[in-house]
Structure 1
Amino acid sequence: MDGFLVDAPPLPPPVWVEQFWGDLTFLHWPVDPATVAHLYPPGTTPDVFVDGLTYVALVPFIMHSSALAGRMPLPYFGTFAETNVRLYSVDAAGRHGVLFRSLETARLAVVGVTRLGMGVPYTWARLRVTRTGDRITYAGTRRWPERGLRTLAELTIGAPVDPTPLEVWLTARWGAHTRKAGRTWWIPNEHPTWPLQQAEVVELHDDLVPASGVAPVGPPLRALFSPGVRARFGRPVALS
């Protein structure tokens, strides 16, 4: 992990958007990097941990309090559920980020704006997040595209944990790579270190990871839950 930034570097101004990511769960599986390299945009490659593997994540959560630069609230876009499938990427500049394979959202307008504006593969879905005590359930059904893909994840939230080196590597990500208008882009972000709690999977049925074209090669890592962090996004930068 030499040169890996555990803490977020300063975000170059201007800040474009601020959001709070709450009630979030990380579910991870190991992946052979050779089987997913073709999914990465030019200028990026699978990010590989010291174990020789990369990873795929299923990440359901609730988006809160979105605001434009200057903290102008976005009421319609401000609070909604999301479920993301993401891979891990690195570019020639050494920026360790994520590469989204899909981002489920219940907000149809978000799908159009982000697909056209940033090339991010948002999809429209019916999503529900319910929590009773230490039990949380995420349920979703894809509406568009590939209508009918489903996810159900029920977990019991446990005590706070100290992340392992691998878990730090997976969660300390300060940007995303994407492809738009024939170019590869880096979208920087910053947020505090994730407060993490152990989570036990009670039930999991998922169509999204298989539909993303990613095939895990081993059992899942331990599930992790976080009450959330506030994140800020900067201006996208084209890879040279």
Structure 2
Amino acid sequence: MPRRPGHSPGVQREPVTAAPPRSARPALLRQDWRDVAFLHWVIRPEVAAPLLPPGTRPDLLDGRTFAGLIALRMAHTAPLGGPPLPWLGSFGQANVRLYSVDEDGRRGVVFLSLDAGRLLPALTARTAGLPYSWAQVHVRHVGDRCSYHLDRRTGRAHASIDLRVGPRQEPDPLELFVTARWGMHHRVPTRTVYAAVEHRPWPLHAAELVHWDTDLLAVAGLPEVSGPPVSVLFSPGVDGVRIGPPA
């Protein structure tokens, strides 16, 4: 009997936990992540599977997997244990991501695209094989409204998102599944690697999507995603994020 994409009875997936299950020390990179918007759509596992690196499969919640569009401000980026970069290390970013699990049961994300508002960080990350592009990315948070605007400088891709931020809430199973992600799967020339991520649990708020217009998901390889997202969340962010070296 053929297996469903994402189904592997021989592997026990690690639990979904609000706190990281492993350390990301020594950190390859430290950052603060601020004013974070989480938008998610349901997609079919057979759509996600070909877009994931070898050795991983779609991670499923009740038989479903998801595509995420995440927009935020990066601040105080500090590479390789050094001090934070004052100007170069703070910028807007957006990413399109899928949800993965590997042969060891580790859950993570796979980035289909990343757009950064600084050229040098985008070029540096691109040399490591990450799908970064240089873009104009503006994040504005005033009162209970937070807006994000992105125009990619190389190629045509854009995003315009306006949220009304609501009260803080405890995440339900779907919201925990798409936010409590403690690693990244990434394809390098000879293998798939995993980099751990460590930070305190997300403070999450309900959010109303007042306006959105984007082609980032279609450009990233998900043209079938349409309609409003099934989940919209906001977080004021987390400081002291640690990203570990590829393992």
Q: TM-score by structure 1 length?
A: 0.92
Out of 133, 141, 165, the position equivalent to 1:157 is: 165
Specify the code of the residue in structure 1 equivalent to 2:94: T
Q: How do 1:1-240 residues align onto structure 2 when only pairs under 5 Å count?
A: 3-6=14-17, 7-50=19-62, 52-117=63-128, 119-144=129-154, 147-214=155-222, 215-216=224-225, 219-230=228-239, 231-237=241-247
Q: Mark the CA change 1:226 to 1:204 in structure 2 (over 3 Å): closer, same or farther.
A: same
Q: Judging changes above 3 Å, is the alpha-carbon distance between structure 1 residues 12 and 106 closer, same or farther for their aligned structure 2 residues?
A: closer
What is the CA–CA distance in structure 1 between the aligned matches of 2:218 and 2:79, rounded to whole Å?
34
Change (3 A) 1:164 1:218: farther
- Is the contact between residue 29 and residue 221 of structure 1 (CA under 8 Å) also seen in structure 2? yes
Three-state SS of the structure 2 residue aligned to 1:21 is strand
**Secondary structure, in 3 states, of the residue corresponding to 1:192?**
coil
Name the SS for the 2:229 alignment partner.
coil
Q: CA deviation at 1:143?
A: 1.0
Alpha-carbon distance in 1 for matches of 2:13, 2:51 = 26
- Note closer, same or farther for the CA distance 1:218–1:47 as it changes in structure 2 (3 Å cut): farther
Bigger shift: 175-184 or 197-206?
175-184
Where 1:189 maps in the other structure, the secondary structure is: strand
Query: 1:217 and 1:30 mapped to 2: Cα distance?
Result: 10
Residue 89 of structure 1 and its aligned partner are, at CA, apart by 0.6
SS of 2:88's equivalent in the other structure is helix
State, as a whole percentage, how many aligned pairs show the same letter: 42
Contact 1:130–1:138 (8 Å) recurs in 2? yes
Give the C-alpha shift of residue 112 in structure 1: 1.6
Shift in Å, 1:71: 4.7
Amino acid at match of 1:195: P
CA pair 217-136 structure 1, distance change in 2 beyond 3 A: closer
- One-letter amino acid of the structure 1 residue matched with residue 232 of structure 2: A
Deviations 1:153-190 (A, max 9, x none): 01111111111111111111111111112321111111
Cα offset, 1:82, TM superposition: 0.2
**How far 1:141 moved relative to its partner?**
0.6
Residues 178-220 of structure 1: per-residue CA shift (max 9 Å, x gap)? 1112321111111111000011011000110111112337752
Q: 1:71 to 1:163 in 2, by over 3 A?
A: same
2:86 corresponds to which letter in structure 1? P
Q: Residue 103 of structure 1 aligns to which amino acid in structure 2?
A: L
Q: Can you give the 5+ residue segments of structure 1 that lack an aligned partner in the other structure? A: none
Q: Which has a greater percent of strand? A: 1
Please, what is the CA RMSD of the aligned residues? 1.7
* Separation (CA, whole Å) in 2 of partners of 1:21 and 1:12: 16
TM normalised by structure 2 equals: 0.89
**Equivalent pairs, count:** 233
Deviation at 1:70, TM superposition (A): 3.5
Counterpart secondary structure, 1:14:
coil
